[in-house]
Amino acid sequence: MTNLIQNWWLVVLRGVAAILFGLAAFLWPGLTLLVLVVLFGAYALADGLIAVITGLSHAKDSQRWWFFVLEGLVGITAGLIALFRPGMATLVIVAVIAAWAILTGILEIAAAIRLRREITNEWLLAVGGILSVVVGVLLIVQPLAGSLAIVWIIGAYSLVFGITLVSLGVRLRSWQQSDPSQKLYPHSHSI
């Protein structure tokens, strides 16, 4: 805790960075989405290369080395698509989220029907499933609006997270100023 109090300014700096990212997401959603897709592309490419190297390095001592190579090739392909065709990658990411929302929504509705004799308020699970299906269908029908909504959700999260971190940093600074032992003997502990 002492180290955190002494470095309160780092917590504030993280919070300011999160706030700036959140504001950027709202002010320039298209650019933010492009940056997120490019970052995903770079990650998928690096991860794919590492998986291929891992698979090839274990070709002699493992019968399943080709799983890593195949996984790596899929990652490399996804990364290259995201880097060189970010618009297509964005639509694919939104489509995957839409499919996930629809499938989990259907499973939640089925679970609610199956559990109606065993639990009360199972209708809440069904409503959650219906909402999930609706969100998935809306993402399929309006993928650009869906991608914008995803950016806004990330932006809102970043703003709230940033404000929380700045508040924590300011509180840590006030703790440091109110505890004279932190100034004179930063590594001492109270007994």
Inform me whether the pLDDT recorded for 181 exceeds 60: no
Q: Where are the domains of the chain?
A: 9-178
**Which is it for the CA torsion 99, 104, 105, 106, positive or negative?**
positive
pLDDT confidence tier of residue 191, bands split at 50, 70 and 90: very low
CA 69 to chain centre: 26
Pick 189 or 134 by higher pLDDT.
134
Alpha carbon distances (Å) from 158 to 32, 146, 148: 12, 18, 15
Q: How many angstroms separate the Cα of 166 from the Cα of each of 5, 23, 116, 174?
A: 13, 15, 46, 12
Phi/psi of residue 62, nearest 5 degrees? -145, 135
| Digit-coded pLDDT (tens) for 49-93 | 999 998 898 888 878 888 889 999 999 999 999 999 998 988 888
In this predicted structure, what is the pLDDT of residue 7?
83
Cα 139 versus chain centre, distance: 18
Q: Quick: pLDDT tens for 105-163.
A: 999 999 889 888 887 778 888 999 999 999 999 999 999 888 898 899 989 999 999 99
